[in-house]
């Protein structure tokens, strides 16, 4: 539901107030921004006095703040895949960091490009190659223009401009926004609506702030690690300020939706903040999934609002397609997201279907961006063949999961199911046992009081719904999407 503004996390439990529904403008420009490992608490507007985020705070004050927005996965590549597809990443075998999209996935960039939008990707990719002929590069996924990194990247990065390595100078987040602004200018001059995907490399380790972005923390009693961590967040904030101001200078802010979020919670053993939520990156507790999220679109969101309606990265594709007036071309292909257009319009009181989460056990795949791009640039300058970019994506995790499903065995990996205010966790034990825990996130956002014993019928019903959803996910993984859910 939509609520009037109240103080941060643990106070966001007040009576809701609906905003009258509005008719939304058609075919807006879309800018999808994503931080890398920024936790729910790592913004000033959530009550932490340390993060210096004046631009994100200003954006939250005038936009639609989604305070129960969850990533599809607690690590980066799977979440990014969910943004592009509207589907849980296990459906297409993107189980962990460094995994890729399947070529047959239908992406938001492909659909908007075919509908006349200019499409551009800028920054971290982490869903495949950034080589000109590499598998699953941004161009293969529908982006006409791209300046991309294989993974997270630092200041003065080497990025791939549609397959050509290009050394750049500047703070990493600002470099990314400046490239996006060049693309926006070209699209505007051509009188085309645009989709700009801006995926920052911060505040992922190693934390390397510039003197300017670190300056707000120099006089605080913080470790150098913390000063650089917060400096990277302030670097993102400055880049977002540059983006917002530029849209206004160009006279296109009114017709542009800017959607800001993060790919997962803060790193384990890292300095980031979950805002008091349980768990961190890599975990299905709220601290690993719930992230700061703001939508700014002056023509459709004329004043600041807060929503505690459950939503997530799987909702981005169906929402954007709805706003652009584009139909999903395969109605029988399972989508896990729903359109949040009614929420933006002030007319959505409840989520129409639950959300599923599932970490299928799988190691990550190393994709060192700085090493890959330095080798790319050196070979390119020497006129030599490019060295091998990445090892093959492992197929064993998908094969093991499908085999367990077909044999009728218990499916491995921690899974969760969110239905309204309720969240169920399904946690397999090493002895084959299954533990079910149930939390009321409206009353207990820190997931500290297990209510499964108090609500056995609800627990059983949610466990059955989660099992049905997991079966649907494995059928997609197996290649049975034409059979629907």
Nearest-CA neighbor of 30 among 338, 318, 304? 318
Is residue 94 among the annotated active site residues?
Answer: no
Of the residues 121, 126, 207, 425, only one is catalytic, namely 126
**Ramachandran bin of 346, using left for φ above 0, alpha for ψ from -120 to 50, beta for the remaining angles:** left
Of the residues 76, 88, 204, 414, only one is catalytic, namely 76
Q: CB–CB of 290/40 below 8 Å?
A: yes
Nearest-CA neighbor of 161 among 174, 146, 173, 172? 146
Nearest-CA neighbor of 287 among 11, 16, 61, 71? 71
* Residue 206 DSSP SS3: coil
Burial class (CB in 10 A: 0-12, 13-18, 19+), 246: middle
The sheet with strand 422-428 has its strands ordered as 355-358, 415-419, 422-428, 434-440
d(CA 239, CA 176): 8
Nearest-CA neighbor of 217 among 201, 200, 229? 229
Secondary element (H or E) of residue 163: none
Nearest-CA neighbor of 40 among 254, 264, 339? 264
**Residues linked to residue 169 through DSSP beta bridges, in sequence order:** none
- Number of CB atoms found within 10 A of residue 224's CB: 11
- Looking at 351-451, list the stretches that DSSP marks H as alpha helix, in order from N- to C-terminal side: 369-382, 396-406
d(CA 81, CA 78): 5
Secondary element (H or E) of residue 199: strand 194-199
Is residue 88 among the annotated active site residues?
Answer: no
CA angle 256, 149, 376 (to 5 degrees): 145
Sign of the CA dihedral with 405 first, then 409, 414, and 418 last: positive
d(CA 422, CA 318): 23
Burial class (CB in 10 A: 0-12, 13-18, 19+), 180: buried
Q: For strand 164-167 and strand 158-161, is the pairing parallel, antiparallel, or unpaired? A: antiparallel
Burial class (CB in 10 A: 0-12, 13-18, 19+), 255: middle
User: Catalytic amino acids?
Assistant: 76, 126
């Amino acid at each position: 539901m939509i609520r009037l503004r109240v103080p941060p996390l643990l106070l966001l439990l007040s009576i809701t107030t609906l905003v009258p529904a509005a008719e939304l403008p058609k075919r807006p420009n879309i800018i999808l921004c994503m931080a890398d490992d920024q936790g729910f608490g790592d913004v000033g507007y959530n009550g932490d006095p340390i993060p210096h985020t004046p631009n994100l705070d200003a954006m939250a004050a005038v936009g639609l703040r989604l305070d129960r927005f969850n990533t599809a996965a607690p690590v980066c590549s799977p979440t990014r895949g969910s943004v592009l597809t509207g589907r849980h990443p296990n459906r297409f075998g993107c189980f962990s960091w460094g995994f890729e999209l399947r070529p047959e996935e239908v992406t938001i960039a492909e659909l908007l490009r075919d509908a006349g939008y200019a499409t551009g990707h800028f920054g971290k990719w982490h869903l495949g190659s950034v080589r000109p002929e590499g598998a699953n590069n941004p161009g293969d996924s529908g982006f006409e223009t791209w300046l991309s990194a294989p993974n997270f990247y630092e200041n003065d990065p080497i990025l791939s401009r549609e397959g050509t390595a290009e050394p750049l100078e500047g703070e990493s987040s600002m470099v990314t926004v400046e490239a996006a602004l060049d693309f926006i200018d070209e699209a505007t001059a051509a009188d085309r609506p645009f989709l700009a995907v801006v995926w920052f490399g911060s505040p992922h380790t190693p934390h390397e702030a510039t003197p300017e972005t670190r300056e707000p923390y120099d006089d605080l009693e913080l470790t150098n690690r913390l000063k650089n961590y917060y400096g990277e967040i302030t670097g993102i904030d400055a880049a977002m300020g540059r983006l917002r101001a530029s849209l206004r200078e160009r006279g296109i802010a009114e017709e542009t939706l800017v959607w800001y979020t993060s790919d997962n919670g803060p790193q384990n053993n890292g300095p980031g903040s979950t805002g008091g939520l349980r768990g961190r990156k890599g975990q299905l507790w709220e601290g690993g999934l719930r992230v700061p999220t703001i939508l700014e679109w002056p023509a459709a969101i004329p004043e600041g609002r807060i929503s505690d309606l459950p939503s997530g990265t799987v909702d981005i594709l169906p929402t954007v397609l709805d706003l652009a007036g584009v139909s999903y071309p395969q109605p029988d292909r399972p989508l896990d997201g729903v359109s949040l257009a009614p929420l933006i319009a002030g007319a959505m009181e409840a989520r129409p279907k639950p959300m599923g989460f599932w970490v299928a056990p799988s190691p990550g795949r190393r994709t060192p961006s700085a090493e890959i791009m330095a080798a790319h640039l050196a070979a390119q300058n020497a006129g030599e063949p490019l060295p091998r970019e990445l090892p093959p994506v492992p197929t064993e995790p998908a094969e093991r999961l499908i085999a367990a499903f077909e044999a009728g065995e218990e499916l491995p990996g921690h899974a969760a199911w969110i239905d309204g205010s309720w969240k169920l966790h399904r946690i397999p034990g090493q002895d084959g046992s299954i533990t079910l825990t149930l939390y009321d996130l409206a009353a207990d956002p820190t997931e500290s009081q297990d209510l499964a014993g108090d609500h056995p019928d609800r627990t059983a019903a949610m466990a059955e719904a989660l099992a049905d959803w997991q079966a649907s996910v494995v059928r997609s993984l197996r290649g049975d999407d034409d059979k629907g859910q």
